[in-house]
Amino acid sequence: DADVTQTPRNRITKTGKRIMLECSQTKGHDRMYWYRQDPGLGLQLIYYSFDVKDINKGEISDGYSVSRQAQAKFSLSLESAIPNQTALYFCATSEASGRALNEQFFGPGTRLTVL
Amino acid sequence: GNSVTQMEGPVTLSEEAFLTINCTYTATGYPSLFWYVQYPGEGLQLLLKATKADDKGSNKGFEATYRKETTSFHLEKGSVQVSDSAVYFCALRSGGDKLIFGTGTRLQVFP
């Protein structure tokens, strides 16, 4: 079984709808991240969480919110989806600082299309 | 601020050709440097890493050397295979333990 899973893998929705993307991990890592990937822009950090009680904004948090329900679960929500949020979304995890050089382990991605 | 610049792709090569993908960075202090690879339809996977100047990271025939004097971490492979076709991302570990990624370079290897 995959260590980092994302659901759904693909989603098509309409402008104005609320969408939740979910991420689960079995690696036992404290840190979790949400990125979006756009062609030619690489990965941009949306939100990150260093433990269950710690949530931080990344580079492009506007229009998004997150919830860290447990160490193993980190959800990303689009409260009112808009077309320019069409992208590939990745969840990632890592151990705490000082161990394993902050190597991040990525899920398979969720392709979101907002019409 | 911290940033990573990669050569634009796609890079198109024949099998067994030599590969170089350039990566330069801007950062304060001594960041750790990484190369990640993304195969079609998959998430990113760590390919190799280096933590200090003159370190050489290597994996699966790929190598990259941390050059502080030129702020570079170029990825090289002596003989590419069709299975190496993927998107390659250079990244650095910035303050706060976040990763800063480059824009990615697509490699296409033909038989």
Q: Tokens standing for B73?
A: 């971490």
Q: Does B87 touch chain A (CB under 8 A)?
A: no
Element holding B35 (H helix, E strand) = strand B32-38
Are A45 and A60 contacting, i.e. CB atoms less than 8 angstroms apart?
yes
What band does A108 get if pLDDT is binned at 50, 70 and 90? very high
By the 8 A CB rule, do B63 and B77 touch?
A: yes
CA nearest B89 in A: which residue? A42
Nearest residue in A to B5, CA atom: A42
Q: Smallest CA–CA separation between A25 and chain B, in Å? A: 14
| A11-20, A53-62, B29-38, B89-98: the lowest-pLDDT one | B89-98
Put simply, whether A49 touches B (Cβ < 8 Å) is: no
pLDDT value, residue B93:
86
Task: Please report which confidence band the pLDDT of residue B48 belongs to, taking 50, 70 and 90 as the band edges.
Answer: very high
Q: Does any CB of chain B come closer than 8 Å to the CB of residue A42?
A: yes
How many CA atoms does the CB half-sphere of A5 hold within 13 Å? 8
The answer to whether the beta carbons of residues A107 and A91 sit under 8 Å apart is: yes
Residue B34 bridge partners (DSSP): B49, B91
Whether pLDDT at B7 is above 90: no
More confident residue, B109 or A103: B109
How many percent of chain A have pLDDT more than 70?
Answer: 93
